[in-house]
């Protein structure tokens, strides 16, 4: 196999382009041989390219149909008034004016950002600590048990988890307050006070979601050469020092991925606050996606809901772009 | 820059790709292929009836379908049980089906959605009801006019109620006994209620909640508003409907009836509403009841049946639930809601609404009539999961096994308190309920929060009511 054959995609090298120009020359000798060889390579390259396109096409079609089209549709709909039943009516920028002066919408953005910060920070911290712990010395079977146990909540339905959490956090009859009561801590109004409700929603969310970051971190930790830690140990570095000076910098690419995914997911949180607190007390746990759902499906104002969706999309894009920008400074690749 | 030969070749290649794609598309378009319409049961000419879930007594749902097929073998029918958390969730799912072009012919709609469906989606049943008046006479004679009036919108009848639930008070007998209290009188007041809660709290320990209530339109703050002779929105009656009252109800029962309820101007910042919130706030401060957000009906049967809750508002639907939870008829009883300025109670009713999109309206009407038959309702509501709209079905035999002892309260809430009316449910009901829940939570957060929260509720309700649905 030649070098040319293992170059399936990307711009064609100048040599190939030159060879194409010479295709008209059907002489004999080295020139002809080179020409035939290049032609065969080009055919193979074309075949590989076609194969790549064929493999990628279903995914691209899926993304276009299920992501790009709805996004464009949502942007278009955000300039209309539509209630499902009658035909859409042009509204211009009225939907945006309406939502930008709606206190519920503004509060929901604030809540979502607060939730994002708390949930992602807690999720990454717990996942990192547990990943380091599981990566330490322990029997293989026990490691597998922990990995499965931490990942398990992720495969459960968020709605059903939230129903259980609602029972657990119930102020009057919930086991959480009962447990706290046994050690003398007075009953906490988990779901009925503003701070308590946000804490309950964050805890329910983190409990379910940290398994994903945990798995990423376990993979990332396995990629850190043991020799680096051993060298640090020989130099007399403590365990904490080794993690701060070696593990974290070398894990920073994984941390970036986990935080990007975590933030995108957290900004779209819906099930936990919807089931646990219905956005209350007051608006204290109402998130942006809840507002989109309520505005569209409960109040039949699909145009305004789309406008809120467009703003959320812009927020997610902005936060993600900011993360990648900051990553240039803080992420270290080996 | 590429040379011209390459460009021409590239052009030819892309042209060939385009032609190929067009040919494929043409073949695909002309191909007699399967589509969503080919899914068995879809668009097969069946009368589609959307109901709220089938979790409770699915055998009865099947019996309903099979029974209708026996009576009308010429009508194909399909029951579409939609799983939903509550009525609001159910209506959202129905609207999604309508938007997707798979609208059912009939939808089971409760008071919460009667006006929304009537205004935007429903077909008045007047012409069929007039046509089959002779057949319907026994039905109307057996159904309280308040229930029928709650199913009217702007002078037209939109549904035949088949079930209802008024908000009465359930009391746990064991808790009463521990408190050394008797079952309260029929005519008890909210002061008697407070005294009873205090007695229950004293005798049942810290981990006991005397009164459990939910934060929603039905069974939440609204029954307390009704008892204080006020409402969330001003209530009046639409004109019209005489054709129905004159045809089916005697003079005494049709007096004061109209063409359905109108709920218009918000009253949230009125003194009487504030009185109610102040009262509920005082109960919370005194630890005599749950905070509104803490209440969730799904856990309620469990905590009531185990004696961790003393009193809660519920309708006839609880008789079946408590029986399932193992409570005997003597373990609990039911009373009217405590009186304040009035004894007016709230109720919610339900029946089948016919959708404008239906192409099988005559068949749909036959189904509506069928579900209002006594034998059908008896079979459908055998498990006491609700209160049948027919008075004759609310009898001793029905409650002998499940209780409560004072089962008469269920229908007497309509018969003996004629002012009893439906929960305020204008076409903007979803937003109204959402605002009520949100601001009730804020209002009852602390004693000083009531009035500011009610002012915000008033403002938001005004905005919602001005908005076209």
* Mean local confidence (pLDDT), B284-292: 90
Between chains, do B293 and A278 touch, taking CB under 8 Å as contact?
yes
| Residue B429: closest CA among B383, B379, B464, B386 | B464
CA pair distance A38, B46, nearest whole angstrom: 66
pLDDT at B17 over 80: no
- Res B4: pLDDT: 46
Residues of B in contact with A297 (CB under 8 A): 92, 95-96
Ramachandran sector of residue B367 (left: φ over 0; alpha: ψ -120 to 50; beta: rest): alpha
Between chains, do A84 and B209 touch, taking CB under 8 Å as contact?
no
B positions 29-88 inside 8 Å of A (CB): 88
CA pair distance B113, A298, nearest whole angstrom: 11
* Mean local confidence (pLDDT), B320-338: 95
B positions 424-453 inside 8 Å of A (CB): 428, 430-431, 434, 437-439, 441-442, 445, 453
Per-residue pLDDT tens listing for chain A (334 residues): 334 344 444 444 444 444 444 444 444 555 566 666 677 677 678 888 999 999 999 999 999 999 999 999 999 999 999 988 788 999 999 999 999 999 999 999 999 999 999 999 999 999 999 999 998 888 989 999 999 999 999 999 998 899 899 889 988 888 999 999 899 888 888 988 889 999 999 999 999 999 999 999 999 999 888 888 888 888 888 878 888 888 899 999 999 999 999 999 999 999 999 999 989 888 999 999 999 999 998 888 999 999 999 999 999 999 999 999 998 888 877 6
Lowest mean pLDDT among A228-242, B129-143, B246-260, B337-351: A228-242
- Res A106: pLDDT: 96
Nearest-Cα residue of chain A relative to residue B92: A297
ipTM metric: 0.78
- Res A18: pLDDT: 45
Of A166, A171, A298, the CB nearest to B88: A298
| Residue B382: closest CA among B154, B40, B58 | B58
Taking the CA of residue B441 and the nearest CA in chain A, the distance in Å comes to: 5
Residues of A in contact with B292 (CB under 8 A): 192
Q: Is the dihedral of CA A228, A229, A235, A241 positive or negative?
A: positive
- Res B29: pLDDT: 56
Residues of chain B with pLDDT > 70, as a percent, come to: 90
- Give the helix ranges, DSSP H, for chain A: 14-21, 30-63, 69-77, 94-100, 103-135, 140-151, 158-168, 175-182, 194-222, 226-234, 239-242, 248-267, 271-276, 288-293, 302-330
- Res B300: pLDDT: 86
Query: Is the separation of the CB atoms in B267 and B232 below 8 Å?
Result: yes
pLDDT at B460 over 50: yes
Q: What mean pLDDT value characterizes chain B? A: 90
Nearest-Cα residue of chain B relative to residue A190: B294
Nearest-Cα residue of chain A relative to residue B206: A172
Helix (H, G, I), strand (E, B) or coil at B124: coil
User: Which of A183-187, B88-92, B290-294 has the highest mean predicted lDDT (pLDDT)?
Assistant: A183-187
Per-residue pLDDT band for B7 (boundaries 50, 70, 90) equals low
Half-sphere exposure of B237 (CA within 13 A, CB side): 18
- Res A6: pLDDT: 40
Q: Which of A19, A281, A285 to mutate to test the interface with B (most CBs of B within 10 A)?
A: A281
What DSSP assignment string belongs to B73-117? TTS-EEEEEEP-SSHHHHHHHHHHHHHTT---SEEEEEHHHHHHH
pLDDT tens-digit series, residues A57-93: 999 999 999 999 999 999 999 999 998 878 899 999 9
pLDDT tens-digit series, residues B191-235: 999 999 999 999 998 789 999 998 999 999 999 999 999 999 999
């Amino acid at each position: 196999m030649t070098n040319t054959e293992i170059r399936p995609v990307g711009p064609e090298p100048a040599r190939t382009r030159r060879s194409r120009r010479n295709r008209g020359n059907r002489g004999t000798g080295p020139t002809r041989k080179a020409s035939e060889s290049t032609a065969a390579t080009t055919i193979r390259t074309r075949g590989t390219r076609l194969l790549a396109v064929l493999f990628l096409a279903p995914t691209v079609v899926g993304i276009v149909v299920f992501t790009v089209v709805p996004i464009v549709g949502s942007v278009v709909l955000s300039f209309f008034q539509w209630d499902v039943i009658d035909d859409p009516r042009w509204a211009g920028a009225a939907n945006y004016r309406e939502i930008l002066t709606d206190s519920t919408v503004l509060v929901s953005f604030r809540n979502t950002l607060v939730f994002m910060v708390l949930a992602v920070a807690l999720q990454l911290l717990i996942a990192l600590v547990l990943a380091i712990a599981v990566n330490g010395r322990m029997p293989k079977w026990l490691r597998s048990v922990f990995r499965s146990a931490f990942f398990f909540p992720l495969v459960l339905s968020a709605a059903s988890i939230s129903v259980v959490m609602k029972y657990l956090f119930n102020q009057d009859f919930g086991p959480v307050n009962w447990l706290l009561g046994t050690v003398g801590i007075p009953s906490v109004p988990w779901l009925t006070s503003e701070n308590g409700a946000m804490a309950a929603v964050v805890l329910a969310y983190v409990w379910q979601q940290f398994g994903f970051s945990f798995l990423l971190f376990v993979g990332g930790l396995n990629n850190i050469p043991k020799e680096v830690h051993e060298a640090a140990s020989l130099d007399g570095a403590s365990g904490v020092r080794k993690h701060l000076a070696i593990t974290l910098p070398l894990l920073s690419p994984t941390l970036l991925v986990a935080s990007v995914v975590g933030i995108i997911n957290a900004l779209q949180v819906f099930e936990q606050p919807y089931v646990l607190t219905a956005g209350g007390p007051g608006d204290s746990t109402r998130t942006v996606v809840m507002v989109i759902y309520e505005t569209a499906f409960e109040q039949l104002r699909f145009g305004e809901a789309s406008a809120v969706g467009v703003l959320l999309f812009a927020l997610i894009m902005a936060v993600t772009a900011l993360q990648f920008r900051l990553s240039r400074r803080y992420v270290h690749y080996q | 820059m590429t040379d011209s030969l390459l460009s021409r070749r590239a052009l030819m290649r892309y042209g060939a790709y385009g032609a190929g794609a067009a040919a494929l598309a043409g073949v695909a378009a002309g191909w007699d292929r399967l589509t969503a319409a080919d899914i068995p049961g879809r668009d097969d000419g069946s009368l589609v009836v959307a109901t709220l879930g089938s979790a409770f007594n699915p055998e009865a749902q099947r019996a309903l379908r099979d029974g209708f097929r026996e009576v009308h073998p010429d009508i194909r029918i399909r029951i579409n049980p939609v799983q939903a958390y509550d009525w609001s969730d159910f209506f959202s799912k129905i609207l999604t089906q309508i938007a997707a072009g798979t609208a059912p012919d009939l939808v089971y709609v409760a008071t919460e959605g009667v006006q929304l469906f009537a205004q935007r989606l429903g077909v008045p049943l007047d012409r069929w009801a007039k046509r089959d008046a002779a057949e319907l006479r026994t039905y109307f004679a057996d159904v309280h006019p308040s229930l029928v009036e709650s199913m009217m919108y702007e002078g037209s009848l939109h549904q035949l109620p088949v079930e209802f639930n008024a908000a009465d008070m359930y009391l746990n007998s064991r808790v009463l006994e521990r408190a050394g209290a008797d079952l309260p009188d029929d005519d008890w007041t909210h002061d008697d209620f407070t005294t009873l809660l205090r007695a229950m709290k004293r005798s049942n320990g810290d981990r006991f909640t005397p009164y459990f209530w939910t934060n929603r339109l039905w069974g939440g703050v609204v029954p307390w508003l009704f008892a204080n002779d006020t409402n969330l929105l001003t209530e009046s009656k639409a004109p019209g409907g005489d054709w129905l009252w004159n045809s089916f109800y005697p003079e005494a029962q049709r007096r004061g009836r109209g063409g359905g309820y109108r709920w218009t101007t918000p009253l949230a910042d009125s003194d009487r509403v504030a009185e109610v919130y102040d009262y509920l706030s005082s109960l919370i401060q005194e630890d005599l009841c749950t905070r509104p957000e803490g209440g969730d009906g799904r856990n309620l049967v469990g905590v009531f049946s185990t004696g961790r809750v003393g009193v809660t508002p519920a309708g006839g639907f609880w008789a079946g639930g408590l029986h399932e939870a193992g409570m005997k008829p003597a373990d609990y009883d039911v009373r009217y809601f405590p009186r304040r300025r009035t004894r007016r109670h709230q109720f919610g009713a339900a029946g089948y609404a016919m959708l404008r999109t239906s192409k099988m309206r005559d068949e749909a009407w036959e189904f509506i009539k069928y579900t209002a038959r006594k034998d059908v309702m008896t079979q459908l509501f055998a498990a006491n999961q609700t209160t049948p709209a027919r008075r004759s079905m609310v009898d001793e035999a029905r409650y002998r096994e499940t209780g409560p002892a004072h089962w008469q309260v269920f229908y007497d809430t309509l018969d003996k308190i004629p002012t009893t009316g439906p929960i305020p449910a204008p076409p903007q009901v979803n937003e109204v309920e959402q605002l009520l829940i949100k601001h009730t939570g804020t209002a009852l957060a602390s004693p000083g929060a009531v009035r500011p929260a009610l002012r915000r509720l008033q403002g938001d309700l005004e905005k919602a009511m001005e908005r076209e649905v």
